[in-house]
Amino acid sequence: MTELFHSSAFDWDKSLFQFINSHNSPFWDKVMWVITSAQFGIVFFLILSALVVWFYRKQSWKILLVIAVVALLADTIGARVLKPNIQRLRPSHDFEYHGDHQVHLLQKKDGTYYYGGRYSCPSNHAINYLTSSLLFFYFLRTKVRRRWLLALFVFGVTLLTCYSRIYVGVHYPFDILCGWTFAAIWTGLAIWGIKKWGPQPGE
């Protein structure tokens, strides 16, 4: 399947990656390094978890457990099943594919560069953020007065984080789209199951 990604059908993917990745600056390098980090994700999920605890009180542990299990399974499938079988190299690992284009990578404090793992499709950041955001939104949408603000926060952060993965040179746009597609289908099935057997937003 690796050869497929080097075909002309993915020229748009390569071009869009190069456009985003090449528009960089020292300031945005620092900003995107924070956004793409695991610590940023932890803070994001802790904020949403705190909202669940605030609104659901004693029932919150059930909801948080459901979200954690669904998100963990999605992450595992993406990392252990999809990526090893699709085997698309990250742009940071496939320099020959870019010809004259130099992939912009972020330099860490120890002087080395951030390359990410070997394979890139689908993006686990895209899977994890969208799966969690959809689930948190599902449970919080009936509790928050200004639902549009909640949507702007969860999906805005998801979009920004996924953009950062392209900016730092470790994902193509198609990897993000694949991650979102899998996350949407997976979470849709999970919500269907929750409606039948799990804790409900109104509880």
pLDDT at 201: 65
Burial of 112 (0-12, 13-18, 19+ CB in 10 A): exposed
Q: Which residue has the tokens 């190069």?
A: 18
DSSP 154-170: HHHHHHHHHHHHHHTTS
| Environment class of 94 (CB within 10 Å of its CB; exposed 0-12, middle 13-18, buried 19+) | middle
pTM confidence score: 0.92
Per-residue pLDDT, 94: 79
pLDDT at residue 81, as a whole number: 97
Instruction: Please report the pLDDT score of residue 10 as a whole number.
Output: 87
What's residue 68's pLDDT?
97
Which pLDDT belongs to residue 45? 97
For residue 6, what are the contacts with CB-CB under 8 A and spacing of at least 6? Answer: 97
The tens place of each residue's pLDDT in the chain, 203 residues long, gives 667 787 888 889 999 999 999 999 999 999 999 999 999 999 999 999 999 999 999 899 999 999 999 999 999 999 999 999 999 999 988 766 655 568 899 988 888 989 998 999 999 999 999 999 999 999 999 998 899 999 999 999 999 999 999 999 999 999 999 999 999 999 999 999 998 887 766 55
Whether the Cβ atoms of residue 122 and residue 178 lie closer than 8 Å to each other = yes
Quick one: pLDDT at residue 164? 97
What is the structure's pLDDT at 62?
A: 93
